Copies of this chain bind each other. A is one copy, B any other.
Amino acid sequence: MSHNDLIARRRMLGGAATALGAIGLSGWAQAQTSTPTAPAAAVPPAAKPLPAYAAWKNPAAMVVHSATTIETRRSAFGTGLITPAQQLYIRNNLPAPNASILEQREAWTISLEGVKQPRSMTLAELKTLGLETVATVLQCSGNGRGFFPSKPSGTPWTVGAAGCVLWTGVPLRNVVAALGGLADDAKFITGTGGEKLPEGIDPLSVVVERSVPIKALDDCLLAWDMNGEPLSLAHGGPLRLIVPGYQGVNNIKYIKRLAFGSSESKAKIMAHGYRITPPGAQSGPEQESVWEMNVKSWINGPLPEAGAVKAGLVQLHGVAFGGSKAIARVEVSTDDGKTWHPARLTGPDLGRFAWRQFAVALKLPAGNYQVASRAVDSAGNVQPAERLENAHGYNNNSWRDHAIQLTVA
């Protein structure tokens, strides 16, 4: 049992039946229907306490939007290449299962379907089939929603529904090979979460079940460790499907079933949720799903909340990622994109699914600056100036939205 789990457990023993009850399904309902109350990207909401299952997080690093939506403060990113668990964001589509599912991690079972020899496997058996560690950016597709002037419903994340994380587990292709290979010409990989579903309503209306294109198979991992520790309940332990390069919702927590097949899941979260819906339109399966992440970057320092910066050489730094494509280069502008200065990529390269750190030293006389960064991926995709407007505020990678206002004195 990890340190995090121990702390969580300790706190839960001290009155968590209440806390868990209080979460109930309110998180789910709230996330689906609430209107953001905070103005876009302005003052963070009034401080709420961390929920019991995430009580081990660093409260100073987090903005608690609700019990199931918890954001990392931009200032907490610092120069971090790996986001520590203590400050990684949380976005749960259903309340987390009872912590008792972590008591016998090795006995957790997953049903594997759409392979030549379909059957259930325990986590203990999965561990015999391979061991790999992959660094990925985990990001909620609604990250940056807080910058939409249209104020789409949903959590008004700014930059903090993202982190760069190391996952350890077994490559999914190893598991498929151990089960005789794919049964048919599968087009999709569908993962189903192990959350407890509310009774009395159609399971398809609430189950966390997502499909991703079969081309992701070679990169997928069934992961049991995060940042070298057994995966916490808050982040999907004991077992999570990792789809490197894909938006967070596709990385199914508490994964209980994994199926290869010819069609996408009919679950509401797949067929209607997480679609790029034109403003004013109804969401539906004909619209683009939030799958691969687009090229994106932002500045993490210096930030305006630290006060004015001294005139002269200023080291601007941040992070950049390209979904499943490596970052080719990053540029920084202090004049709303009229001129761009090449930044250096700094620090170790953790692979194409991870973020890169970048830095550039600019000589800034006293004044007020709008500081923005713009990333280009290995396929030549350029981070755009403007967001793609859509009804639910997904996939915002506008460099202008992510710019900061810096005072140099």
Q: Output the least CB separation between A360 and chain B (Å).
A: 9
Q: Residue A228 at the B interface, CB < 8 A? A: yes
How many copies the complex holds: the figure is 2
Determine if B60 and A131 form an interchain contact, defined as CB atoms under 8 angstroms apart: no
> Which of B79, B86, B229 is the one whose CB lies under 8 Å from A80?
B229
Number of chain A residues whose Cβ lies closer than 8 Å to a Cβ of chain B: 48
Q: Residue A175 at the B interface, CB < 8 A? A: no
Q: Which residues from B are CB-within-8-Å of A79?
A: 131, 133, 168, 225, 228
Q: Residue A130 at the B interface, CB < 8 A? A: yes
Of A108-116, A345-353, A372-380, the segment with at least 4 beta carbons within 8 Å of chain B is: A345-353
Binding site secondary structure of chain A: mixed
Of A250-258, A263-271, A312-320, the segment with at least 4 beta carbons within 8 Å of chain B is: A312-320
Q: Residue A3 at the B interface, CB < 8 A? A: yes
Known: A78-B225, A133-B348, A348-B133. A3 touches B312 (CB 8 A): no
Give Cα distance in the complex from A58 to B199, angstroms.
Answer: 40
Q: Residue A119 at the B interface, CB < 8 A? A: no
Determine if A3 and B225 form an interchain contact, defined as CB atoms under 8 angstroms apart: no
Q: Which residues from B are CB-within-8-Å of A82?
A: 82, 166, 227-228
Q: Residue A81 at the B interface, CB < 8 A? A: yes
Determine if B228 and A348 form an interchain contact, defined as CB atoms under 8 angstroms apart: no
Q: Output the least CB separation between A243 and chain B (Å).
A: 18
Kindly report which residue of chain B lies nearest to residue A164, judged by CB atoms.
B228
Task: Tell me the residues in window 59-101 of chain A with beta carbons closer than 8 Å to chain B beta carbons.
Answer: 60-61, 77-84, 86-87
Q: Which residues of A contact B (CB under 8 A)?
A: 3, 6, 58, 60-61, 77-84, 86-87, 124, 127-135, 166, 168, 225, 227-230, 310, 312-315, 317, 346-351, 354, 357, 359, 361
> What 10 A-B pairs have minimum CB-CB distances, sorted nearest first?
A80-B228, A133-B347, A128-B313, A131-B359, A79-B168, A348-B350, A3-B58, A131-B315, A78-B228, A79-B225
